[in-house]
């Protein structure tokens, strides 16, 4: 008899939901998501000229020779990334649009990704062809444990000219730099209230309305903590901490909270926030005049990737002018030297070698990483 | 007849089954053979992953495949002295205690009114008690964060629309307690309902005959008789709340309230990862749960609570009088909080074109609502793959889990096999290990195993079999204990082979118990989020993970909300399955 009651419950409620659901799907559109649309078309950046008669040539630059390109067409890139989901979706869609090669993304926060990659690697079951992380210490650990294998994309000579781009003879590369800034909900914060400098974030008016991601969550946020400490002192962090900000585990959840108006201002990764803004979230970014925190977005080919033509094309493309330009268009700072400045929508980020760009180097990470996080935790009374 | 209700029925492991006294020994010869094989299987499923966690707690480095270190240390336990751990422990215990009390009050109220009173629309109130089972706690928490977040929560926006200051803050201990209690109340409801509706009225009649008032009879006879169900569900709810990760992560973390599971998650996600210390905090959680289990055993083993006899009985009904309607309103209030508001919130979130809303008046603007997200989500590859995977995994693990639980229960309760106590103990181990930690242990186990199951759906099935063994065993145990052994023995006496006697007699007799256990396991598999969190790969995403991923990693609340609703719908449809299976025959056996 209970079975019958159970079934009644199921039927009654499923009917209610089904009715609601049907009402919903009636007017469905076939659009495939804002990211794919924005990346695949000319919205973010005009599509480059792609020639495929002799391998893959994009804007006159050879990205893959004929043999590699032909082999890659029937292959698939398996990308593991700790880079922001929004921007990684854009990149993946753009790569697919420019090269026609299939790609699959597994996105996880840096630490979870590291645990996963090292476990898979230890068991000889690493599925990824390319692994992208935001913490130099994690990349170095990957290199030491054989997750990364040396590989030279066609632009290798060019890349070698810059500092901090090629590591361990090409075992891993800086794909681009991430910029960390701040932003606000454009429906809640207007006119004179809009913060312009880092100092403005410490204003008591943001009591309970500020959002931050905990400094231990990944390379980009540790980099930001380091910049705050070295440029403005521990006092600055203490002032932010005194505002009782909402502390998040991931940037994505924080972005959603900012869009909903749960918080009014937040320290933000430039690229992921820009992606959300393009997708229609009521968020505006600020490129503060008193410094932008820069951190590494590192990428390497795995032994599995060395066997995958598609994975190789992905690395080639990422380091090509077209790939770098697209990265800039969505809010990264290109790693490849000698490129023209590229606007990101209405915003202009400084070049990698400019003074305003405070880069958190792998040496900084090794030297200060632990103490920076500890200082940050203390200032925000955070346990982690 | 008894049971989805028997989920977590209090059992007294190790003690001889009642009335088994003078029976002759069964399967004396196969004593070690069958139990030994099962012990190996269960040990492999459960103890190996648990062993990895234990090893991690005492190791210098995280035991990863290829680098298992045997340099043991107790240094990881220093983390237990950190003020953060103390705070997280106190929060966890406080939240678990309050949630248990509240869940018991809600579940007990609904159970009593539906089983023993003349509350209006009794069938409907019964449904109210059951329905939250179909809403995974992660989805419920997500919905409540949409409803009750302090600045942008829909309830607060509504209050401000009415000219009041918004005052709901779900990111607080009362908020977390409310959501936990609301979503775990069905456990109390089902157990207590079963106990109350099957109660023999003789004792209550005796009380009434001797002049006891209705209230006095309830207080001194009815409720004490329902004690095993009340204590059993209290234990179950307390342990579930204590180790609940999704609700705490979605609702407690934003308010900077750490619980032990979120603290463990944080340690795992620290940079660099502090997996060893996370494991040592996990050991603390295990200790708590062992203490609770032991307490329950001591409490319940002292007295006899025989209330169900072979005779068909009709439980006494209490006339609520003028309280009938007010109590119905209270029950409806529960329905609103547990189901209606969360579903509406998800629905609205899935429909809103802009994530930002300052007033409900915004919804009247042209283009403010758009239902296309349902279609987009339902047609997306992510959803289709995840939905298919979820159904396959849930069906396989529920079927496998039911069979395993039956085999274990049979050995434990129907044989004198030497290892039966141990077998039961091992099967209950997952209850004492937080899912978040067991998930990691399972990841390490199946990465190290030479059998190439990692990255396939099978590894999910195996993980679910391990994690849900206690629930499966409890369901089957209650059923097997209430099924008479004499019939099966008669068949054997008349020359049938034991295996044939089991399949021809015991299994059909236990049909309802088996089906309801299958249903419970099916639902649990569909809902499980924490364990697959560490096991999923690109190809093996299941629905719960897909939703978590959408929100936690993608910040795509709209898609997550749309997918959550479709997810619940699929669960309702699946819940009809056991009935379809059951109705093909055999229900009349009872």
Structural domains of chain A in order of their starting residue, each with its CATH number: 35-176+296-334 (3.40.190.10), 179-294+357-378 (3.40.190.10)
Q: Which residues on chain A are in Cβ contact (under 8 Å) with B584? A: none
CA–CA dist B455, B279 (Å, integer): 24
Would an 8 Å CB–CB cutoff place B375 in contact with chain A? yes
Q: Taking 80 as the threshold, does the pLDDT of residue B310 lie above it?
A: no
| Number of helices (H), then strands (E), in chain B | 29, 0
Q: Which residue has the higher pLDDT, A206 or B455?
A: A206
Give the percent of chain A with pLDDT over 70: 89
Give the percent of chain A with pLDDT over 90: 58
Q: Which residues on chain B are in Cβ contact (under 8 Å) with A245? A: none
Q: What is the mean pLDDT of residues B412-425?
A: 83
Q: Given an 8 Å threshold on Cβ–Cβ distance, is B123 in contact with A17?
A: no
Scanning B531-550 for CB atoms below 8 A from A yields 534, 537-538, 549
CA–CA dist B507, B497 (Å, integer): 14
- CATH 1.10.3720.10 for the B26-71+373-590 domain, yes or no: yes
Lowest mean pLDDT among A284-288, A374-378, B237-241: B237-241
pLDDT number for residue B589: 35
Q: What is the mean pLDDT of residues B33-51?
A: 86
Q: Given an 8 Å threshold on Cβ–Cβ distance, is A256 in contact with B355?
A: yes
pLDDT number for residue B1: 32
Nearest to B271 among A110, A254, A260 (CB): A110
Would an 8 Å CB–CB cutoff place B384 in contact with chain A? no
DSSP code of residue B23: P
- Name the residue in chain B with its Cα closest to that of A109: B553
pLDDT number for residue B75: 79
Would an 8 Å CB–CB cutoff place B587 in contact with chain A? yes
Q: Which residues on chain A are in Cβ contact (under 8 Å) with B554? A: 85-86, 107, 252
> Which of A1, A21, A88, A273 to substitute to test the interface with B, most B CBs within 10 Å?
A21
Among B394, B257, B123, B122, smallest CA distance to A6 is for B123
pLDDT number for residue A144: 93
Instruction: Please state at what angle helix B341-351 crosses helix B557-575, rounded to 10 degrees.
Output: 130
Instruction: Kindly state the helix (H) or strand (E) to which residue B427 belongs, with its residue range.
Output: helix B420-428
What is the average pLDDT value for chain A, to the nearest integer? 85
Q: Given an 8 Å threshold on Cβ–Cβ distance, is B372 in contact with A28?
A: yes
pLDDT number for residue A174: 95
> For residue A41, what pLDDT band results from cuts at 50, 70 and 90?
low
Give the model confidence (pLDDT) of B514-540 as tens digits. Answer: 888 888 888 889 888 888 887 887 678
Give the model confidence (pLDDT) of B115-139 as tens digits. Answer: 888 889 988 999 899 888 888 888 9
Q: Which residue has the higher pLDDT, A110 or A274?
A: A274
Q: Which residue has the higher pLDDT, B279 or B270?
A: B279
Would an 8 Å CB–CB cutoff place B256 in contact with chain A? yes
pLDDT number for residue A39: 58
> For residue B315, what pLDDT band results from cuts at 50, 70 and 90?
low
> For residue A37, what pLDDT band results from cuts at 50, 70 and 90?
low
Give the model confidence (pLDDT) of B403-415 as tens digits. Answer: 999 999 988 888 8
Q: What is the mean pLDDT of residues B182-190?
A: 91
Give the percent of chain B with pLDDT over 90: 23
CA distances from B180 to B99, B142, B248, B337, B349 (A): 6, 12, 9, 12, 22
> For residue A299, what pLDDT band results from cuts at 50, 70 and 90?
very high
Residue B436 sits at the vertex; the CA angle it makes with B546 and B298, to the nearest 5 degrees, is 135
Nearest to A125 among B270, B376, B454 (CB): B454
CA B17 to centroid of chain Cα atoms:
25
Region(s) of chain B under CATH 1.10.3720.10: 26-71+373-590, 80-370
Residue B131 C-alpha, separation from nearest chain A C-alpha, in angstroms = 7
pLDDT number for residue B174: 95
CA–CA dist A14, A22 (Å, integer): 12
Residue A35 C-alpha, separation from nearest chain B C-alpha, in angstroms = 12
Q: Given an 8 Å threshold on Cβ–Cβ distance, is B269 in contact with A109?
A: yes
CB A237 within 8 A of CB A380: yes
Q: Which residues on chain A are in Cβ contact (under 8 Å) with B245? A: none
pLDDT number for residue A2: 37
Q: Taking 90 as the threshold, does the pLDDT of residue A283 lie above it?
A: yes
Encoded tokens for B15:
């003690």
Q: Taking 90 as the threshold, does the pLDDT of residue B56 lie above it?
A: no
Q: Taking 70 as the threshold, does the pLDDT of residue A75 lie above it?
A: yes
CATH of B80-370, one of 3.30.70.1070, 3.40.720.10, 1.10.3720.10, 3.40.50.920: 1.10.3720.10
Would an 8 Å CB–CB cutoff place B169 in contact with chain A? no
Q: Which residues on chain A are in Cβ contact (under 8 Å) with B565? A: 17, 20-21
Q: Taking 80 as the threshold, does the pLDDT of residue B284 lie above it?
A: yes
Q: What ipTM does the predicted assembly reach?
A: 0.76
Q: Which residues on chain A are in Cβ contact (under 8 Å) with B83? A: 383
Q: Given an 8 Å threshold on Cβ–Cβ distance, is B375 in contact with A219?
A: no
Q: Which residues on chain A are in Cβ contact (under 8 Å) with B127? A: 5, 8-9, 12-13
Q: Given an 8 Å threshold on Cβ–Cβ distance, is B576 in contact with A11?
A: yes
Would an 8 Å CB–CB cutoff place B585 in contact with chain A? no
CB A330 within 8 A of CB A90: yes
Q: Which residues on chain A are in Cβ contact (under 8 Å) with B1? A: 1-2
Per the listing, tokens 């209006």 go with B120
pTM passes above 0.90: no
Q: Which residues on chain B are in Cβ contact (under 8 Å) with A122? A: 64-67, 447
Would an 8 Å CB–CB cutoff place B35 in contact with chain A? no
Scanning B273-292 for CB atoms below 8 A from A yields 273, 275
> Which of B553, B566, B567, B578 to substitute to test the interface with A, most A CBs within 10 Å?
B553
Q: State the alpha helices, DSSP H only, in B494-590.
A: 498-501, 507-509, 511-527, 543-548, 557-575, 577-582
Would an 8 Å CB–CB cutoff place B582 in contact with chain A? yes
Q: How many CB pairs under 8 A join A and B?
A: 248
Encoded tokens for A105:
């993304």
Q: Which residue has the higher pLDDT, A317 or B324?
A: A317
Give the model confidence (pLDDT) of A237-281 as tens digits. Answer: 999 999 999 999 888 889 889 998 999 999 999 988 887 888 788
Nearest to A14 among B65, B358, B569 (CB): B569
Q: Which residues on chain A are in Cβ contact (under 8 Å) with B263? A: 383
Highest mean pLDDT among B28-37, B217-226, B377-386: B377-386
Q: What is the mean pLDDT of residues A354-359?
A: 90
pLDDT number for residue B458: 92
Among B432, B413, B425, B418, smallest CA distance to B477 is for B413
Q: Given an 8 Å threshold on Cβ–Cβ distance, is A123 in contact with B512?
A: no
CA–CA dist A293, A356 (Å, integer): 9
């Amino acid at each position: 008899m209970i079975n019958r009651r159970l079934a009644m419950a199921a039927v009654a409620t499923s009917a209610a939901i089904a009715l609601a659901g049907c009402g919903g799907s009636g007017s469905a559109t076939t659009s495939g998501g804002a990211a794919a649309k924005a990346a695949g078309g000319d919205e973010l950046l005009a599509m480059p000229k792609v020639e495929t008669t002799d391998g893959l040539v994009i804007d006159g630059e050879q990205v893959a020779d004929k043999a590699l390109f032909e082999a890659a067409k029937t292959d698939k890139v398996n990308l593991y990334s700790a880079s922001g989901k929004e921007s990684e979706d854009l990149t993946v869609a753009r790569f697919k649009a420019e090269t026609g090669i299939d790609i699959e993304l597994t996105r996880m926060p840096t630490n979870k990704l590291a645990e996963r990659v090292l476990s898979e690697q230890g068991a000889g079951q690493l599925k990824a062809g390319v692994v992208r992380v935001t913490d130099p210490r994690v990349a170095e650990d990957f290199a030491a444990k054989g997750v990364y294998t040396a590989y030279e994309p066609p632009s290798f000579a060019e890349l070698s000219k810059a500092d901090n781009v090629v590591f361990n003879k090409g075992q891993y590369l800086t794909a681009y730099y991430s910029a960390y800034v701040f932003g606000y909900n454009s429906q809640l914060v207007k006119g004179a209230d809009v913060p312009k400098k880092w100092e403005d974030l410490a204003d008591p008016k943001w009591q309970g309305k500020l959002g931050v991601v905990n400094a231990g969550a990944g390379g980009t946020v540790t980099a930001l903590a380091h910049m705050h400490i070295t440029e403005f002192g521990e006092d600055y962090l203490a002032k932010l901490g005194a505002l009782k900000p909402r502390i998040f585990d991931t940037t994505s959840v924080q972005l959603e909270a900012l869009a909903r108006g749960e918080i009014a201002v937040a320290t933000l990764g430039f690229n992921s926030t820009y992606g959300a803004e393009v997708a229609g979230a009521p968020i505006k970014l600020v490129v503060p005049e008193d410094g932008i925190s820069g951190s590494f977005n590192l990428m390497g080919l795995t032994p599995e990737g060395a066997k995958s033509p598609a994975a190789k094309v992905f690395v080639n493309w990422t380091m090509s002018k077209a790939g770098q330009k697209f990265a800039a268009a969505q809010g990264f700072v290109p790693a490849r030297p000698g490129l023209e400045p590229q606007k990101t929508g209405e915003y202009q980020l400084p070049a990698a070698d400019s003074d305003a760009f405070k880069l958190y180097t792998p040496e900084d990470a090794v030297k200060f990483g632990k103490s920076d996080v500890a200082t940050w935790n203390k200032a925000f009374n955070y346990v982690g | 007849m008894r049971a989805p209700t028997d989920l977590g029925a209090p059992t007294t492991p190790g003690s001889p089954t009642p009335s088994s006294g003078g029976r002759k020994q069964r399967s004396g010869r196969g004593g070690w053979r069958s139990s030994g094989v099962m012990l190996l299987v269960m040990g492999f499923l459960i103890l190996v992953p648990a062993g990895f966690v234990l090893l991690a707690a005492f190791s210098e480095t995280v035991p990863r495949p290829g680098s298992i270190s045997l340099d043991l240390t107790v240094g990881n336990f220093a983390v237990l002295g950190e003020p953060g751990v103390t705070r997280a422990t106190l929060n966890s215990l406080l939240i678990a205690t309050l949630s248990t009390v509240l869940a018991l009050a809600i579940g007990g109220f609904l159970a009593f009114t539906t089983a023993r009173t003349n509350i209006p629309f009794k069938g409907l109130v019964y449904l109210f008690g059951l329905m939250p089972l179909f809403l995974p706690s992660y989805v419920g928490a997500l919905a409540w964060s949409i409803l009750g977040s302090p600045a942008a929560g829909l309830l607060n926006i509504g209050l401000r629309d009415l000219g009041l200051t918004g005052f709901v803050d779900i990111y607080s201990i009362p908020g977390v307690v409310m959501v936990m209690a609301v979503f775990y109340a069905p456990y109390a409801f089902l157990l207590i309902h079963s106990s109350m509706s099957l109660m023999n009225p003789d004792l209550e009649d005796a009380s009434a005959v001797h002049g006891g008032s209705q209230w006095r009879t309830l207080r001194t006879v009815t409720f004490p008789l329902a004690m095993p169900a009340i204590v059993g569900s209290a234990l179950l709810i307390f342990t579930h709340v204590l180790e609940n990760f999704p609700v705490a992560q979605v609702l407690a973390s934003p308010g900077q309230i750490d619980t032990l599971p979120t603290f463990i998650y944080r340690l795992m996600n620290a940079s660099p990862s502090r997996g060893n210390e996370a494991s040592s905090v996990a050991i603390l959680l295990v200790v708590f749960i062992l203490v609770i289990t032991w307490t329950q055993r001591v409490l319940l083993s002292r007295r006899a609570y025989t209330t169900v006899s072979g005779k068909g009985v009709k439980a006494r009904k209490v006339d609520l009088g003028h309280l009938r309607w007010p109590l119905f309103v209270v029950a409806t209030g529960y329905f609103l909080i547990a189901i209606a508001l969360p579903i509406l919130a998800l629905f609205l979130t899935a429909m809103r074109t802009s994530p930002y809303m300052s007033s409900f008046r915004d919804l009247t603007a042209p283009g403010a609502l758009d239902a296309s997200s349902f279609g987009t989500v339902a047609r997306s590859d992510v959803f289709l793959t995840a939905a298919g995977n979820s159904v396959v995994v849930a069906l396989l693990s529920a079927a496998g889990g039911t069979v395993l639980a039956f085999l274990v229960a049979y050995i434990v309760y129907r044989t004198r096999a030497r290892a039966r106590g141990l077998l039961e103990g091992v099967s209950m181990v997952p209850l004492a290990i937080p899912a978040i930690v067991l998930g990691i242990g399972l990841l390490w186990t199946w990465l190290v195993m030479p059998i190439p199951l990692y990255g396939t759906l099978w590894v999910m099935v195996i993980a679910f079999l391990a994690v849900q063994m206690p629930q499966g065993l409890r369901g089957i145990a209650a059923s097997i204990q209430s099924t008479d052994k004499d019939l099966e023995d008669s068949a054997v006496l008349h020359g049938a082979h034991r295996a044939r006697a089991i399949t021809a007699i015991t299994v059909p007799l236990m049909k309802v118990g088996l089906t309801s256990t299958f249903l419970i396991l099916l639902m649990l598999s569909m809902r499980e989020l924490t364990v697959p969190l560490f096991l999923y790969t690109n190809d093996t995403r299941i629905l719960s993970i897909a939703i978590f991923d959408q929100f936690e990693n993608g910040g795509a609340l709209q898609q997550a909300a749309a997918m959550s609703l479709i997810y619940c719908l699929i669960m309702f449809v699946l819940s009809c399955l056991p009935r379809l299976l059951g109705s093909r025959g055999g229900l009349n056996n009872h």
